[in-house]
Amino acid sequence: MTIARIVVTAAAVNGTLVALASRVWTAMSAAPPRMRVWVVAMLVLDAVVLWGIFERRAPVFGRIVSRATPRTPAIAVTFDDGPTEPYTAQILDVLRAHEARATFFVLGARAEAAPEVVRRAAAEGHEIANHGWDHEALPLHTPSYIRGTIGRTSALVAHLTGVRPRLFRAPFGWRNPWVGAAARREGCETVAWSVGVYDTDRPGADAIARRAIDGLRDGMILLLHDGRSLDPAPDASQVVAALPAILAAARQRGFRLLTLSALLAESE
């Protein structure tokens, strides 16, 4: 439902902007110079706002972290949209075999449905972070809804693990002026990612591994998924299959595999 709403909204906005631009272009030719300046300024402002909403690294609505500068070479591997069984448990098995730590940005609804694997991840030294309750696109919602979805998820994670999340990542990476403020009120820093490999498209384990390995850089925040929004039957098997090669390549290149909070703590 969320994707459908986004597509419909984007199509409506695009159609409206095209029609408006046509009218503005016609009107500007006959407008006095001062009015033309104001029209151009408004169009630029609109463009900046849209950039701030849809570009995950845009600082328009406040500081956003998408990369780190650790003391010595290190990266953070992160997983969004889970937990989803059996895939999250399989990912934990791979991480344990490679003595790696990761950060799981959980959806509250999924964590509520699979509490044991959340507890296991925390017990094994991984970080449990906040991805909202149900993967709703936050720019479509009010400030009270935004704070509610973050707060509800943080409360559940704290109940399951004894530790309240310190990091929040917006669904799709989309933000508006209220997202950062709501996250801060709930004790979370808002973060994005450096490299995404589009693994939810299921391009194959080899493609996922190759894209991740090609993007390996010091301080990188890698985005993977152990779920797919609230898809009732997500399949993260390709991520599970690709993960050993990604971790092995990172180790071979001398990168430590840290939780995102640990990586950011070194950067401070």
The residues that are catalytic are 80, 225
Q: Which of 227, 222, 169 is nearest to 197 (CA)?
A: 222
What residues have CB less than 8 Å from 79, skipping those under 6 apart?
88, 91, 102, 103, 104, 105, 224, 225, 226, 239
With CA atoms as reference, report the closest residue to 178 among 140, 135, 152: 140
Contacts of 220 (CB under 8 A, 6+ apart): 67, 75, 76, 194, 195
Q: List the beta strands (DSSP E) in 71-126.
A: 74-80, 103-106
Question: CB neighbours (10 Å) of residue 261?
Answer: 17
